Amino acid sequence: MICIRFFKTREEAELGKKILAEGGISSIVSEDTFNNVPIQEFGVQARFRLNVAEDDYLRSARFLAKKLRETRLT
């Protein structure tokens, strides 16, 4: 799996996952931890990763770029 984007909240990462699903791209959300403890417990800002399969990396990047262009045009 390859991380394509970091998010500050799980909700934002889940929204990214939902957008990728619209394009038929499977992804998972993971939280950065240290020894299975969320990093915010150590005073570090939380980070959530949106990960896609290595084979889907280019397709997901193109799909997200297209979505961003469409959003800017409306």
Question: 7 pairs with which residues across the strands?
Answer: 48
What average pLDDT is seen over the chain?
90
What is the pLDDT, as a whole number, of residue 73?
A: 62
Q: What is the pLDDT of residues 38-69, one digit of tens each?
A: 888 888 888 999 999 999 999 998 998 888 78
Domain positions in the chain: 2-73
For the record, the structure tokens of 19 come out as 């957008």
Instruction: List the structure tokens of 9.
Output: 């909240």
Class of domain 2-73: alpha beta
Q: How many CB atoms lie within 10 A of CB 70?
A: 9
Summarised one tens digit per residue, pLDDT across range 7-39 is 999 999 999 899 999 999 999 999 998 888 988
